[in-house]
Amino acid sequence: MASETLTSTEYIKHHLQNLTFGKHPDGGWGIAHSAQEAREMGFWAIHLDTMFWSIALGVLFLWLFRKAALQATSGTPTGWLNFVEWVVEFIDDNVRGSFSGKNDMVAPLALTLFVWVLLQNTMDLVPVDWIPEIAKLIGIEYMKVVPTTDPNATFGMSIAVFYLMLHYSLKIKGPIGFASELTMQPFEAKNPLLKVLFIPVNLFLEGIGLLSKPVSLSLRLFGNLFAGEMIFILIALLFSGGIVFAVLGGALQWAWAVFHILIVLLQAFIFMVLTVVYLDMAHHEH
Amino acid sequence: MNINFTLFGQSLAFIVFVLFCMKYIWPPIMNALETRKKIIADGLAAAERGKRERELGEQRATEVIKEAKGKVAEMLASAEKRGAEIVEQAKNDAKVEGERIIAAARSEIDQEAQRAREALRKDVASLATVGAERILSKEIDSAVHAKMLDELAGQL
């Protein structure tokens, strides 16, 4: 909640600041105490809150699903295993539907992405001040609890996906096949001279097409979740505006949270499906 | 909102999670699902087979019953025929036996009659003799005429 000592701008800025660990310009390592300090740390710094929550949620996912995997039987499934099987079959159906190649990694990758991103997005539904206020009590200055509102997290995943796309493109199509896919279309010609002339144009178009995939993949997730988080923060500002605004804020927060459940789920699903589609394209020979 | 090393930290975490999921989560669950699918498919196939076998069994049972009914009818017919034959035979036997008994009775009667006639003849002869003796008691000497009377009796 915004206290009297904080202006609205400061409150919002505070909520958008990650807990950054890195090298101070003066040479010492430590946690940045302001947005300014964090920015000055440059590239060799790490967002402790993003890393902590994403890894914690990833471990939670692995632990919960591993528990189900250990009790997986061909007999009658019960309770948690039932749910896990439902999720796994949902992912399996999706992967079978959109991935035509043969690769044992794609389905587990899709499952990991879907559940992990979903869990990270779900953190958005926790009221924006709860965890940061608790963190403040134990002396942690900044705490951004939704990892997917940090572009580092979404780009981190999409870069890994992009690497896999390149890896499988080269592996399946071969360097020449991949190069020709990038240079011999969309403009095609029978004439060899024309063909050579088209190469830079094609490379430019296809290069943009290729690079836009990881960028759009991560920015879509980041943008949606960041916007959602921002609205929660703005609604939270209402709580400091007196009883009428606080009640209104409560109602708005509830309504937005209900709507946000859709976004949380949808964005996780889109991220998973697009990843599978991109990997399918990497496996697909023209 | 700076881009920094978190990027690679996230990539690394992601890769580790995917590898773990690929090794320890996906295969056992998929295995269980596949095995269950197979068990269910086998069960359904077995049920189908059982149903078909039951149908075949029913068909066979119907055939057996039909055959048995036919046999029974055949047996009944032959038994009736045999019964009729036995009755016929018995009738014949009875007839023959009856005739035999009648014949035996007749010959018995004949013999009896013969015997009675013999006795009667003897009685008549003696009666005649006695009568003649009484009529001719004095006139006729029985000793003299006995030979003649015997001859007479023998002619009877």
How does pLDDT run across A74-85, given as a tens digit for each residue?
A: 778 888 888 999
**Is A16 in the B-facing interface, judged by CB distances under 8 Å?**
yes
CB contact under 8 A, A157 and B4: no
- Nearest Cβ partner of A156 from B1, B7, B18? B7
Q: How confident is the model at residue B1 (pLDDT cuts 50, 70, 90)?
A: low
- Is omega for the bond preceding A127 within 30 degrees of 0, making it cis? no
**Is A159 in the B-facing interface, judged by CB distances under 8 Å?**
yes
Give the Cβ contact number of residue A78 at 10 Å. 9
Query: Given a cut of 70, is residue A4 above it in pLDDT?
Result: no
Residue B33 sits at the vertex; the CA angle it makes with B32 and B36, to the nearest 5 degrees, is 85
**Is A51 in the B-facing interface, judged by CB distances under 8 Å?**
yes
CB contact under 8 A, B3 and A152: yes
Query: Given a cut of 90, is residue B17 above it in pLDDT?
Result: yes
**Residue B66 C-beta-side C-alpha neighbours within 13 Å:** 6
Query: Given a cut of 80, is residue B141 above it in pLDDT?
Result: no
Cα A163 to Cα A60, A142, A147, B127: the distances in Å are 26, 32, 21, 164
Q: How confident is the model at residue B136 (pLDDT cuts 50, 70, 90)?
A: confident
**Is A47 in the B-facing interface, judged by CB distances under 8 Å?**
yes
Query: Measured between beta carbons, which residues in chain B are less than 8 angstroms from residue A72?
Result: 28-29, 31-32
Q: Report CA A101 to chain centroid distance, whole Å.
A: 25
CB contact under 8 A, A54 and B11: no
Q: Looking at residues A268-277, what average pLDDT do you find?
A: 95
Rg (Cα) of chain A, in Å, rounded? 23
What's residue A1's pLDDT? 44
Could you give the 3-state DSSP secondary structure of residue A21?
A: strand
Query: Given a cut of 60, is residue A2 above it in pLDDT?
Result: no
Query: Given a cut of 90, is residue B63 above it in pLDDT?
Result: yes
Contact A57, B15 (CB under 8 A): no
Q: Which two tokens stand for residue B135?
A: 């009529």
Identify the residue with better confidence: B152 or B69. B69
Q: Looking at residues A118-147, what average pLDDT do you find?
A: 88
B→A interface, C-beta within 8 Å: 1-11, 13-15, 17-18, 20-22, 24-26, 28-33, 35-36, 39
Sequence letter at residue A118 = L
Query: Measured between beta carbons, which residues in chain B are less than 8 angstroms from residue A150?
Result: 1, 6
Interface of A with B in 92-121 (CB under 8 A): 92, 104-105, 107-109, 111-113, 116
Chain A residue at shortest CA distance from B2: A39
A218 assigned to active site: no
Query: Given a cut of 90, is residue B90 above it in pLDDT?
Result: yes
Non-local (6+) Cβ contacts of A259 within 8 A are: none
Q: Which two tokens stand for residue A210?
A: 């290729």
A212 assigned to active site: no
Looking at the DSSP bridge assignments, the partners of residue A206 are none
Q: Looking at residues A252-256, what average pLDDT do you find?
A: 92
CB contact under 8 A, B5 and A157: no
pLDDT cut 70: percent of chain A above it: 98
**Is A215 in the B-facing interface, judged by CB distances under 8 Å?**
no
Query: Measured between beta carbons, which residues in chain A are less than 8 angstroms from residue B31?
Result: 72
Q: How confident is the model at residue A165 (pLDDT cuts 50, 70, 90)?
A: very high
**Is A160 in the B-facing interface, judged by CB distances under 8 Å?**
yes
Query: Measured between beta carbons, which residues in chain B are less than 8 angstroms from residue A61?
Result: 17
Query: d(Cα B92, Cα B86) in Å, to the nearest integer?
Result: 10
A34 assigned to active site: no
**Is A223 in the B-facing interface, judged by CB distances under 8 Å?**
no
What's residue A286's pLDDT? 60
CB contact under 8 A, B13 and A45: no
Q: Which two tokens stand for residue A279?
A: 């990997």
Torsional class of A42: left (φ above 0), alpha (ψ -120 to 50), beta (otherwise): left
CB contact under 8 A, B11 and A18: no
Q: Looking at residues A190-217, what average pLDDT do you find?
A: 89
Q: What is the reported pTM?
A: 0.75
Q: Looking at residues A143-167, what average pLDDT do you find?
A: 92
Query: Given a cut of 90, is residue A275 above it in pLDDT?
Result: yes
CB contact under 8 A, A46 and B39: no
Q: How near does any CA of chain A get to the CA of B37, in Å? A: 8
CB contact under 8 A, A111 and B26: yes
What's residue A77's pLDDT? 81
